[in-house]
C-alpha cells in the first residue's frame, strides 16, 4: 500500500549551531558492496577530519552494478543489513550527521525496490527516511533508463529537524521538479544525493542545483557519482555546495573525493529579510 503524497516531518528540539561545516562525498562506485563501503568510510573519515559535521553520500554509493538485478539482489529490510549497519556505525564513530545517499530497500512489490535516502544522527540513530518520488526516464542515443521498471516510487516529501536547521531530502531526478522543493516549506538546507548521467549533467546539473538554491533561499549540498563506472555508465560528478544566493562554495568536477564548506544560518536569515520571496509567493490557480 503506497502512502499519500504528503509531507513527513521529523521534528525534534535541537540547539541550533551558528555556523558549521558540511561535506558532499563524490564516488565512482562499482558492483562490490564491501569495496564501496570501504571507499565511503575512507572519504567520510577525511571529510570529518576537516571538521564536517554533516556529510552527504551520493546516490547508490554502496552499489553501481552491471544491471538492475544487481541492486535488487542487495535490497535491505528497514533496520537491518550491512549497508544500514555501516551508516549507523560510521555516523557514531565520527560523531557526525550522515545522509546515506541512497540504498536499495525492499518494496511492497516483490520484484521492485525503493530507492531510499536514510539520515543518521551523531549517535548512530536513523532519524529520517525519504523514498525517491520521481523515477528517471531517458531515451537518448544508446542511453535508455526506465527506473519505474524496477523501482517503486515514494509518495511523501520528507524534512528533518537537526542542529543545522531544517533539512529537505531529495534524490537525483527529483532535482527537475521544483514543486517538490516548494512543498518542503522553508528548509535551511537541501541535500541531493545523485548519480546524474554525463549526457544530461553536462548541460543541466549546475544550472538546476543553483536554481533550486536560489528559488528556495536554501543551501544545497549535492553529492554525486562522478566518473566512468565498471558497468560502462558515465556519471557527471561536479558535486557541489551552493549558498542561498546561488554562489558555488565548492565543487569537484570528477573522481572520488569530497567538497566542503562552512554554512552560516545567519546569512540565510539576512537574505530572507532582504529578499522575502518565500513570503511574497502568490499561488495562482488556472
Which residue carries 549497519 as its cell? 85
Burial label, 17 (beta-carbon count in 10 A; 0-12, 13-18, 19+):
middle
The dihedral through the CA atoms of 254, 260, 266, 267 has a sign that is negative
d(CA 50, CA 25) in angstroms, rounded, equals: 13
Closest Cα to residue 235, out of 207, 203, 194?
194
235: which 3 cell numbers? 556519471
d(CA 239, CA 43) in angstroms, rounded, equals: 14
The dihedral through the CA atoms of 81, 82, 83, 84 has a sign that is positive
Query: Pairing state of beta strands 157-160 and 167-169?
Result: antiparallel
d(CA 136, CA 186) in angstroms, rounded, equals: 26
Enumerate the active-site residues.
59, 132, 172
Burial label, 114 (beta-carbon count in 10 A; 0-12, 13-18, 19+):
buried
d(CA 23, CA 45) in angstroms, rounded, equals: 11
Amino acid at each position: 500500500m503506497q502512502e499519500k503524497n504528503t509531507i513527513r516531518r521529523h521534528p525534534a528540539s535541537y540547539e541550533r549551531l551558528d555556523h558549521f561545516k558540511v561535506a558532499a562525498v563524490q564516488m565512482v562506485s562499482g558492483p562490490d558492496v564491501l569495496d564501496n563501503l570501504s571507499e565511503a568510510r575512507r572519504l567520510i573519515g577525511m571529510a570529518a577530519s576537516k571538521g564536517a559535521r554533516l556529510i552527504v553520500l551520493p546516490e547508490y554509493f554502496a552499489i553501481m552494478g552491471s544491471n538492475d538485478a544487481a541492486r535488487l539482489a542487495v535490497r535491505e529490510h528497514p533496520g537491518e543489513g550491512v549497508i544500514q549497519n555501516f551508516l549507523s556505525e560510521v555516523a557514531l564513530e565520527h560523531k557526525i550527521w550522515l545522509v546515506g545517499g541512497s540504498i536499495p530497500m525492499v518494496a511492497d512489490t516483490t520484484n521492485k525496490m525503493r530507492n531510499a535516502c536514510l539520515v543518521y544522527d551523531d549517535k548512530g540513530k536513523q532519524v529520517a527516511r525519504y523514498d525517491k518520488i520521481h523515477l528517471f526516464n531517458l531515451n537518448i542515443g544508446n542511453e535508455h533508463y526506465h527506473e519505474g521498471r524496477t523501482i517503486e516510487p515514494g509518495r511523501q516529501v520528507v524534512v528533518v529537524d537537526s542542529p543545522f536547521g531544517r533539512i529537505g531530502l531529495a534524490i537525483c531526478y527529483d532535482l527537475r521538479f521544483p514543486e517538490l522543493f516548494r512543498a518542503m516549506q522553508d528548509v535551511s538546507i537541501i541535500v541531493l544525493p545523485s548519480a546524474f548521467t554525463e549526457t544530461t549533467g553536462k548541460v543541466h546539473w549546475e544550472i538546476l542545483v543553483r536554481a533550486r538554491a536560489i528559488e528556495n533561499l536554501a543551501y544545497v549540498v549535492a553529492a554525486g557519482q562522478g566518473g566512468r563506472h565498471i558497468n560502462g555508465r558515465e556519471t557527471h560528478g561536479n558535486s557541489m555546495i551552493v549558498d542561498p544566493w546561488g554562489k558555488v562554495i565548492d565543487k569537484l568536477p570528477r573522481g572520488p573525493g569530497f567538497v566542503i564548506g562552512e554554512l552560516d544560518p545567519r546569512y540565510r536569515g539576512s537574505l530572507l529579510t532582504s529578499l522575502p520571496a518565500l513570503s511574497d509567493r502568490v499561488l495562482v490557480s488556472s
